[in-house]
Amino acid sequence: MREILSMDNVSYSYRDEDEKEPKKAVDGVSFTVREDEWIAIVGHNGSGKSTLAKLMIGLLFPDEGDVNLFIEKMTEDNMWEIRSQMGFVFQNPDNQFVGSTVQDDVAFALENNGVPFEEMVTRVREALAQVNMGDFLDHEPHHLSGGQKQRVAIAGALALHPRLLIMDEATSMLDPQGRNEVIRLVEELKRKTGLTVISITHDLEEALLADRIIVMNKGKVLTVGSPDQIFARGKELEEIGLDLPFALRVSGLLRELGMDLDGEHMTEEELVNELWTSHFSK
């Protein structure tokens, strides 16, 4: 499969006047993201996730190593061209609104990219329909719920027809329902349009849905793997301060209590099924 993004031994330190040896916020990070993948990046506070996101979109440039997008090394010269093929959604939807209505807001970036008016109107409608906000064209963004705001922010990104969608804690300010709405939307978009998604999240339940998970710790990549591979190392994840998904925690506790359980249980459904079929129905 085609490569969309690669980090090649990337390091970055924030400069602080007083510090002689600044601490590396991102330290020798390498990984590759292929077309069509959904990648979750997880890690405790301060492990370098947002810094990685800023390096991916050219808000920061690495001190060492290369960031390659669409098989091209990102430089100050090609950054705008590269960025035009990416959509970003960040944590706080309120800081992302610029338009006075939902449709103006989604149109904003298109206008900046010089998309002709007719096409802009079509794309705005399409994108808002994709996120199920087609009935809210003339609503004021500030009066929407958190989940609706994040869906409008995603529509703004989608209207650009990006090859890559990068989200940094896009669901973290939402309640469980809003979070589910956004996650389900991303799943659907991925399935329908083959969009490549990189999602930074604290929520390991959300990370379970990704194709691969990158675990960050102290600026470095601790491990990369499928959700099965990653959660097989549950203890290690807890040691670096991550909250395991509920079903995994419960099955770990049941094992400690001496219950004989097969395999890993990533979802509550899997756990309930095994408990039911192999323990309670005997």
Ligand X SMILES: Nc1ncnc2c1ncn2[C@@H]1O[C@H](COP(=O)(O)OP(=O)(O)OP(=O)(O)O)[C@@H](O)[C@H]1O
Residues 6+ apart with CB under 8 A from 63: 11, 12, 13
Q: Between 92 and 267, whose beta carbon lies closer to ligand X?
A: 92
Q: Between 155 and 215, whose beta carbon lies closer to ligand X?
A: 215
251-273 in b/e form (b: 16+ CB < 10 A) is bbebeeeeeebeebbbeeeebee
Extended strands (E) in the chain: 3-13, 24-34, 38-42, 64-69, 72-73, 86-89, 164-168, 196-200, 212-217, 220-225
Shortest CB 159 distance to Mg ion, Å: 25
Shortest CB 259 distance to ligand X, Å: 34
Residues that bind ligand X (CB under 6 A): 14, 25, 43, 45-51
Q: Between 163 and 218, whose beta carbon lies closer to ligand X?
A: 218
Does 171 engage in binding with Mg ion (CB under 5 A)?
no
The tokens describing 130, both together, are: 């994709």
Q: Between 43 and 178, whose beta carbon lies closer to ligand X?
A: 43
Instruction: Please answer whether residues 217 and 43 qualify as being in contact, where contact means their C-beta atoms are separated by less than 8 angstroms.
Output: yes
Shortest CB 204 distance to ligand X, Å: 13
Dist. CA 138–CA 134, nearest whole Å = 10
Read off the amino acid at residue 66.
D
Q: Between 26 and 159, whose beta carbon lies closer to Mg ion?
A: 26
Which of ligand X, Mg ion, none lies near 147, with the C-beta cut-off 5 to 8 A by kind? none
Size of the site for Mg ion (CB under 5 A): 2
Instruction: Please answer whether residues 124 and 103 qualify as being in contact, where contact means their C-beta atoms are separated by less than 8 angstroms.
Output: yes
Q: Between 5 and 25, whose beta carbon lies closer to ligand X?
A: 25
Dist. CA 210–CA 224, nearest whole Å = 12
Which of Mg ion, ligand X, none lies near 80, with the C-beta cut-off 5 to 8 A by kind? none
Shortest CB 49 distance to Mg ion, Å: 5
Q: Between 25 and 131, whose beta carbon lies closer to ligand X?
A: 25
72-73 and 64-69 as β-strands: parallel, antiparallel, unpaired? antiparallel
Shortest CB 166 distance to Mg ion, Å: 12
Dist. CA 49–CA 216, nearest whole Å = 7
Dist. CA 165–CA 158, nearest whole Å = 8
Query: Which residue number is nearest to Mg ion in terms of Cβ?
Result: 50
Shortest CB 231 distance to ligand X, Å: 20
Which of ligand X, Mg ion, none lies near 43, with the C-beta cut-off 5 to 8 A by kind? ligand X
Which of Mg ion, ligand X, none lies near 13, with the C-beta cut-off 5 to 8 A by kind? none
Task: Compute how many other C-beta atoms are within 10 angstroms of the C-beta atom of residue 101.
Answer: 14
Selected binder of Mg ion within 13, 47, 50, 148 (CB under 5 A):
50
**Contact string (CB under 5 A) for Mg ion, positions 10-49, x = contact:** ---------------------------------------x
Shortest CB 19 distance to ligand X, Å: 10
Counting other chains too, the contacts that 265-272 makes at CB distance below 8 Å and 24 or more residues apart are: 266/208, 266/227, 266/228, 266/231, 267/208, 271/247
Note the residues at the interface with Mg ion (CB under 5 A): 49-50
